[in-house]
Structures are given as structure tokens and as C-alpha cells.
Amino acid sequence: MTIAMIGATGLVGRQLWPLLQGRQDVLVLGRRPSGAPLEKLGTMEEWPGLLRGERIDTAVSTLGSTRKAAGSWAAFEAVDRHAVLAFAEAARAAGARHFLLVSSSGADAHSRNAYLRLKGEVEEAVAALGFERVDLLRPGLLLGQRSDRRLAEGAGQAVAPLLGLLLRGPLDRYAPIDAGQVAKGMAALAGRREPGVYRHHNREIRALAH
């Protein structure tokens, strides 16, 4: 049985796949090489077909963009909704019992904010696919060195120490968190057998990472 993954070249994903590789074979689906030993490349639309014939136990998505980086809302939705859900459906068809998804703090299918509403809707759609276990990670602002330029997130990282001081207690879930901690938290969750849908915010993610 294999772990299938999308988003392996991103901020969390490129730190996650080496952690998973030591336990099981990790099959990375992507548009460009990630360095993973087992990899299939193609367009996002081709990813579901690349899973045909595979036996998957666990599926992981660290895929994500922003409206600005994608260039339009339609392009953003193609990544964060359609590509993620098509992968999840294909992984479930390939036998996956466990799905792990990097979502966002504040994700809510009923939010007035379009970004948070989309994230919440994707969470609900994944949970409805019939996986035995779903882990939804909802980190705050991700800290780390990105390969692409996201000016708004770069500004956020510059003030991250101040935000960390201000966002305490119940607001901690919105505080900045290092992408490496999210990767370690996901690695700790991979392979867990307890059924159900679990949501993990910053505090839970940090605990898992240690």
C-alpha cells in the first residue's frame, strides 16, 4: 500500500514527503519534479488518471494557492477546489482509507469571505467521500521560504513575531506557524487508524509535531 500526495513542491509539501518516505512508498503527483523517488508528472487534470491501477492507503494534499498567485478566482478555484477534490475522489477509488488535507484557519462553508468559504466547502466535500478517517489541518499564516513570490504573505511573515504575541488564547489558531511544524504534524497523523473527521488548529498541530 502506498501514500499518494499532491502539493509536494510547496511550502509544507516539500518538507513532508521526505518524512513520509521513511515509512511507506510515497507516490507524488505533480506538475514539476519534487525530488521524490516515486513520481508521476502531468497536468492537474491528468492527476486522477495517474492513480489508476495503484493501491493507495493514505492520500495527502498540501496543495494550495492564492487568488493573486493564481491570477484569477477561476484559476485559484481550479487548484484549491477542483484539483484537490478530483485527487481525493481518485484516491478513494484506489482504496485510500485516510485523507489528510492542509486547509486554513477560519475555514467555514458558511463564511462571507469567499476564500474561507471555499476552504470550508472543500473540507465538507472531502469528508463526504467515504474515507474512514479524514484529518483537516487548519494552520494560521504559514512561515517559511517560498519558491514563488506572494507579496501579501511576505508582508505577513515580516510582522509574524508581533502577530504571535498578539494572537494568544482563543486567537492562537490564527497566529503564524512554521510550515515545518505543519509537515511534522501531518507526518505524525499519517497512518492513524481511529475513524472519524478531525480538525487540527495551530495548538494541536504544534503538539503533534513534538
Is 174 annotated as catalytic? no
Active-site residue (options: 40, 115, 174, 184): 115
Catalytic residue among 40, 68, 119, 184: 119
DSSP the chain: -EEEEE-TTSTTHHHHHHHHHTTS-EEEEESS----SEEEE--GGGHHHHTTT--EEEEEE-----HHHHSSHHHHHIIIIIIHHHHHHHHHHTT--EEEEE--TT--TT-SSHHHHHHHHHHHHHHTT--SEEEEE--SSEES--SS--HHHHHHHHTHHHHHHHS-GGGGGGS-EEHHHHHHHHHHHTT----EEEEE-HHHHHHHH-
Q: Is residue 119 annotated as a catalytic residue, yes or no?
A: yes
Q: List, by residue number, the catalytic residues.
A: 115, 119
